[in-house]
Structure 1
Amino acid sequence: MKFLLLVIFVALSQKIEYSGMIYGMLESSQLVDKVSISRCHLEMSRDFTRISLEGLIDDSIILAKQCGWNSAAKTLLKFRNNPKSVEKASAELYGFILASINNKGQALKNDGATIGKIMEYMIAELSPTVVKFKADMASIKSLKQSKYPIAVFHGLGDCCCFPGMIEFTRYLGKEASTYSKCVEIGDGSAASWLMGFQKQVNTACTNLKKVSEFENGINVVGLSQGGLIARAVSEMCNITVHNVITLGGPHMGVMSIPNCESGFFCDIFNDALDLGVYDSFVQENFGPPGYYKDPLEYNEYLKQSNFLAAANNEKSINADYATGFKSINQLVLIEFTEDTIVDPKSSEQFGYFKIGSKKDLLLYNQTEDYINDWLGLKTLDEQGKIVFEYIVGNHLQFNNSEIQRTVIPYLI
């Protein structure tokens, strides 16, 4: 009997309450906000010898459902059902989790926060607007040094802190033998969703001017939504911009708002859209609605658009915007041939639907914007300053050789 009690005691002593790790992970990965975390405290114990990343994710899903955090539960389930992502995360985090658990739960919330920061990118990586670029430094040619440093702007839901953007920015700098920096427009990936687009541009301008290396002019590279920011920099930032290169930038707007893939802010964003994409509150406080453009509601777009209608000089002519845009030395517009995110994909090269139609697509030089030269697109075209490049594949699907072909020549 004494032996049996001893076995039971030993078994029980191996169980630890590790809910703190789960809460730390959920908060740090931006799947649940601090306020929600403070309102729901549940305990969960596990035998520390059997804890794994897969189990941690499964238990996180259970807690998220019990606390009513549906967006977090849905996101984690999607991640859990992607074997490659889980395998990659397990390999990277196995040792850290093991060390944390063997520490007998002394700092599990902090350990969970560390796991969450790593998981944030791995979860975001499932989104088609987040860059998965891996630089092949051995392929760098560095044929010529660029005269200008490079400012890079990421896409929707991405972050300068994510590995893909870090690799991409570093790679451009190495290829062009110059200073290269990813410029953030807010605090983490949520800002690209939960910040009005004009405010994102204003913040970009402020942050650019803080970088001493950019004082004498820059080349700007923008990815996806960041392509619009890159172009707006030439119009609105009062900074010398040499070349503007955009990969999948929705310059003429989109007919559908991209899905919010992960994070508590998706609930906020989706609830806000119920007010209507042209609602003044939505336009001023959320990113993608700022470049939504319905050709069947063009007059409402002109009246309510908080960013794009003004940036394209469709609402009224802003001479400063036109002057800045026309001062670009070279505008490089890269379209992804199989793009399923930017609707229509021709927007990536200033094409769009004919006003009043959702079927008739116009090339860049057939739109009213071009014909009337409201912004200066026609002027740049007649001066031979517009370059059209293509990458075969879906949104932001590119590798080293494609960047060497479509981007690097215009940086050096």
Structure 2
Amino acid sequence: MAAMGEFMEDHASWWCEIADFSRNEIGKDAHVVRETPPSPPLPLLIWHGLGDQYDAPGLHTIGDLAQEIHPDTYVHYIRLAPSGSEDRRATFFGNLTEQLDVVCTSLREDERIWNRNPHHQKVDALGFSQGGQFLRGLIETCEGLRVRSLVTVGAQHNGIAAIGRTCGTWDFLCKGAVAVMRGNAYTEYVQGNVVPAQYYRTLNDTKEGGGDKEEEEPEPVDEYLEFSNFLARVNAERKEEREEKKNEMYKARLTRLQKFVMVVFEDDTTVIPKESGWFAEVNRTSGKVTLLRERKLYREDWIGLKALDEKSALVFESMEGDHMQLDDEVLSSLFEKYFGPEKAAAEDGETETETL
């Protein structure tokens, strides 16, 4: 009997060990089962530049690159007309205020883009040349659109001071737009119908600046402030509108970006001045460049750029080459870093619950 008792005690201990082992292993398996599956990449909006169109093969090659880096990315190529040719025409002629409304409405109709749960799901955005400032304007004006990362390449966020584009021999759309702009960009008709004129910005830059930063930064001409249909509005340049807080909602929406990446071409001869892609001001008389952080736009935080900078969301990048000479390696690096799946809310610090 003593032997039987010892046998039972030994086996009881053995069975307890098995039970403990089983519980541990089951717990491990259960933990594996409970793990959250990988998040899909966020949808990507792409807005092309002047003279381009949404169905251009080169543009879709860029979309393919984004999908190669982040498989299953849904790419939405922004367009303003059903056909490629009409979409190209809309890059030269049209009213930007109306065009932004059209794009906002088209995004609402795309279930793969529009936010059915407005407090969580977002999209990423990539803008080339004028498409860069248009995407920023869209973020500011399109209620409910949530963008995580905005990447602009060769944009003109501070406008253009001259027309650097050379039109092709048979490019009558381009020649027509340029001719109208050179006549008088600051009229109600031109500002309502010629797209590049709506981010054309000239300065009172003939005076030498003094030691004060505000004196050194030239002011835009009165005609620009009075008639600008797009840029003066989305950059909050009209003092009366700032005093009436008409741009506060634009600012609130822009500051929700997690990253605002601005890429400038080092040898850009099309965007004049090229530093516009970084919101810099250039006095074309003296050649002085006033960087963003030295400008009133930033110091008084008219549209939220200072707030973005304070949370390390502003990124200044450059790319070798002339305008739109794209480097696949640089693009790949940008896509890997700023696009793809969304991080958990606890990681990205998202706490907002209000729909803007």
So what's the TM-score if we normalise by structure 2?
0.71
Question: What is the deviation of 1:184?
Answer: 0.7
In the other structure, the counterpart of 2:110 is 211
Q: Does 1:353 align with 2:282?
A: yes
The 5 Å alignment of 1:319-334 reads 319-334=248-263
| Matched-pair identity in % | 29
Tell me if the contact between 1:218 and 1:240 (Cα under 8 Å) persists in the aligned partners. Answer: yes
In the superposition, relative to structure 1, how do residues 358 and 227 fare at CA in structure 2: closer, same or farther (>3 Å)?
Answer: farther
> Highest CA radius of gyration, 1 or 2?
2
Q: Does 1:306 align with 2:229?
A: yes
Question: What is the deviation of 1:146?
Answer: 5.4
In the other structure, the counterpart of 1:148 is 42
Tell me if the contact between 1:349 and 1:388 (Cα under 8 Å) persists in the aligned partners. Answer: yes
Q: Deviations over 1:345-369 (max 9, x none)?
A: 1111111125x95622111111111
Q: Gaps spanning 5+ residues in structure 1: where?
A: 1-143
Residue 397 of structure 1 aligns to a residue whose secondary structure is coil
Aligned counterpart for 2:91 among listed residues 192, 205, 208: 192
Tell me if the contact between 2:265 and 2:274 (Cα under 8 Å) persists in the aligned partners. Answer: yes
Tell me if the contact between 2:49 and 2:128 (Cα under 8 Å) persists in the aligned partners. Answer: yes
Residue 338 of structure 1 aligns to a residue whose secondary structure is coil
Question: AA paired with 2:63?
Answer: T
In the other structure, the counterpart of 2:26 is none
In the superposition, relative to structure 1, how do residues 260 and 307 fare at CA in structure 2: closer, same or farther (>3 Å)?
Answer: farther
Tell me if the contact between 2:47 and 2:132 (Cα under 8 Å) persists in the aligned partners. Answer: yes
Q: Deviations over 1:114-173 (max 9, x none)?
A: xxxxxxxxxxxxxxxxxxxxxxxxxxxxxx975410010000000011111121122213
Tell me if the contact between 2:51 and 2:174 (Cα under 8 Å) persists in the aligned partners. Answer: no
Residue 347 of structure 1 aligns to a residue whose secondary structure is helix
Question: What is the deviation of 1:295?
Answer: 1.3
Moved more, 246-255 or 162-171: 162-171
Residue 225 of structure 2 aligns to a residue whose secondary structure is helix
In the other structure, the counterpart of 2:75 is 180
- Looking at structure 2, the residues matched to 145 and 165 of structure 1 have their Cα atoms a distance apart, in angstroms, of 26
Q: Does 1:228 align with 2:149?
A: no
Residue 151 of structure 2 aligns to a residue whose secondary structure is strand
- Looking at structure 1, the residues matched to 125 and 272 of structure 2 have their Cα atoms a distance apart, in angstroms, of 24
Question: AA paired with 2:236?
Answer: N
Residue 222 of structure 1 aligns to a residue whose secondary structure is strand
In the superposition, relative to structure 1, how do residues 202 and 339 fare at CA in structure 2: closer, same or farther (>3 Å)?
Answer: same
In the superposition, relative to structure 1, how do residues 145 and 226 fare at CA in structure 2: closer, same or farther (>3 Å)?
Answer: farther
- Looking at structure 2, the residues matched to 310 and 338 of structure 1 have their Cα atoms a distance apart, in angstroms, of 29
Aligned counterpart for 2:148 among listed residues 239, 242, 258: 242
Structure having the higher helix fraction is: 1
Q: Deviations over 1:382-402 (max 9, x none)?
A: 111111111111111113212
Q: Does 1:171 align with 2:65?
A: yes
- Looking at structure 2, the residues matched to 398 and 271 of structure 1 have their Cα atoms a distance apart, in angstroms, of 29
In the superposition, relative to structure 1, how do residues 379 and 158 fare at CA in structure 2: closer, same or farther (>3 Å)?
Answer: same
Q: Does 1:161 align with 2:55?
A: yes
Residue 335 of structure 1 aligns to a residue whose secondary structure is strand
In the other structure, the counterpart of 1:115 is none
Tell me if the contact between 1:295 and 1:353 (Cα under 8 Å) persists in the aligned partners. Answer: no
- Looking at structure 1, the residues matched to 317 and 174 of structure 2 have their Cα atoms a distance apart, in angstroms, of 33
- Looking at structure 1, the residues matched to 338 and 62 of structure 2 have their Cα atoms a distance apart, in angstroms, of 16
In the superposition, relative to structure 1, how do residues 358 and 324 fare at CA in structure 2: closer, same or farther (>3 Å)?
Answer: farther
Residue 46 of structure 2 aligns to a residue whose secondary structure is strand
Question: What is the deviation of 1:208?
Answer: 1.8
- Looking at structure 2, the residues matched to 160 and 195 of structure 1 have their Cα atoms a distance apart, in angstroms, of 16
In the other structure, the counterpart of 2:326 is 398
In the other structure, the counterpart of 1:335 is 264
Report the number of matched residues: 268
Residue 201 of structure 1 aligns to a residue whose secondary structure is helix
Aligned counterpart for 1:256 among listed residues 124, 141, 162: 162
- Looking at structure 2, the residues matched to 307 and 158 of structure 1 have their Cα atoms a distance apart, in angstroms, of 20
Larger relative contact order, structure 1 or 2 (CA cutoff 8 Å, min sep 6): 2
In the superposition, relative to structure 1, how do residues 384 and 288 fare at CA in structure 2: closer, same or farther (>3 Å)?
Answer: same
Question: What is the deviation of 1:377?
Answer: 0.6
